[in-house]
């Protein structure tokens, strides 16, 4: 982006003539000829129907009408120049793009973003949240955090958050409908589900109960709720609507604050979870974000 000020036509010419008091000086500053500047001012006076300048032997001075126009024009030129400088500054600031899903971005990343900004105030971060990762997702972001298995991402990524889940609900829901001393009792509660368009790649209620050899009664699901995004699942749990599967790393702060409580035994899947995938070609911006993510997960873990 060029550094010279934006073209503002007669407005900048008039402001510079008034400021310098000379057609020749304004022409030299703006890279124009003296006749071109004089012609622009003459046309401006014709359009306004008043004299804006008093021509003198050595330069020009403003008439009363010229003073009024300068007050408006000078402010407009100053404001536009300031805006142009801010646009250039924004364009020159380094930006690092992080591609991840809605659950990680809303429940883990956003509550911790102040930490990255404090360490790297000179870098802007752009979060691209999506549930669909194309085959070329590494070319579409500086850093990616994706859910999957070791077979999928172990060769290119670092396991950031291994999958560990446990049932969670509010204390009020537990008091009204519990206790859930074992998964069999939990199977009779109102459950909150995360819908997926295909077999779930993470623990869902079916696979959770299967791990404990619990068969849920066909009538037990009356009143269950389903959502297609995990953040809505957690919002429903926070409002006391039922029991949700809580992913450790995503709901830790809610558990620590007492907004949610444990409602059943945990499960682990050590070979799957959220993987930190760097770009094909690393740079200083991506490396700083990678280091922060790894360090922050380590501190919170």
Higher pLDDT, 117 or 148: 148
CATH code of 10-92, in short, is 1.10.10.10
Determine phi and psi for 34, rounding to 5 degrees.
Answer: -60, -40
Q: Which residue has the tokens 């770009």?
A: 279
- Residues 71-117: tens digit of each pLDDT: 999 999 999 988 887 777 666 666 778 888 889 888 888 888 888 87
CB of 13 within 8 A of CB of 43?
A: no
Domain 97-300 class in CATH: alpha beta
Q: What is the pLDDT of residue 130?
A: 77
CB of 14 within 8 A of CB of 58?
A: no
Gap between the Cα atoms of 91 and 270, Å rounded: 42
- Residues 210-264: tens digit of each pLDDT: 999 998 887 766 789 999 889 999 999 999 999 999 999 899 989 999 999 999 9
Q: CA 276 → CA 7, 100, 143, 272, distances in Å?
A: 46, 10, 7, 12
Give me the numbers of helices (H) and strands (E) for the chain, helices first please: 13, 11
CB of 53 within 8 A of CB of 41?
A: yes
- Domain-by-domain residue ranges, the chain? 10-92, 97-300
Return the closest-CA partner of residue 1 out of 93, 122, 127: 93
- Residues 13-65: tens digit of each pLDDT: 999 999 899 999 999 988 899 999 999 999 999 999 999 999 888 889 999 99
- Residues 161-175: tens digit of each pLDDT: 899 999 999 999 999
Q: Which two tokens stand for residue 32?
A: 């124009």
């Amino acid at each position: 982006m060029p550094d010279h000020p934006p073209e503002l036509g007669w407005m900048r010419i008039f402001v510079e003539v008034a400021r310098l008091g000379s057609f020749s000086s304004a022409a030299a500053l703006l890279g124009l000829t003296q006749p071109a500047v004089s012609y622009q001012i003459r046309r401006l006076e014709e359009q306004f129907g008043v004299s804006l300048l008093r021509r003198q032997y050595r330069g020009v001075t403003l008439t009363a009408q010229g003073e009024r126009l300068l007050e408006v024009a000078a402010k407009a030129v100053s404001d536009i120049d300031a805006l142009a400088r801010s646009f250039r500054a924004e364009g020159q600031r380094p930006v690092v793009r992080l591609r991840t899903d809605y659950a990680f971005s809303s429940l883990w990343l956003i509550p911790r973003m102040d930490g990255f900004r404090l360490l790297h105030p000179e870098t802007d971060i752009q979060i691209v949240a999506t549930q669909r990762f194309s085959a070329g997702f590494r070319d579409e972001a500086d850093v990616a955090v994706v859910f999957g298995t070791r077979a999928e991402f172990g060769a290119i990524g670092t396991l950031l958050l291994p999958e560990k889940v446990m049932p969670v609900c509010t204390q009020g829901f537990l008091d009204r409908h519990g206790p859930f001393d074992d998964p069999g009792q939990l199977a009779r509660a109102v459950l909150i589900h995360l819908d997926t368009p295909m077999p779930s790649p993470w623990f869902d209620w079916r696979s959770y109960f299967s791990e404990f050899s619990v068969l849920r009664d066909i009538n037990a699901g009356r009143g269950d709720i389903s959502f297609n995004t995990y953040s809505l699942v957690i919002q429903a749990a926070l409002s006391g609507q039922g029991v949700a599967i809580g992913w450790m790393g995503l709901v830790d702060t809610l558990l620590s604050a007492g907004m949610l409580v444990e409602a059943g035994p945990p499960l682990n899947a050590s070979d799957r979870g959220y993987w930190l995938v760097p770009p094909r070609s690393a740079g200083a911006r991506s490396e700083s974000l990678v280091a922060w993510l790894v360090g922050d997960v380590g501190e919170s873990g």
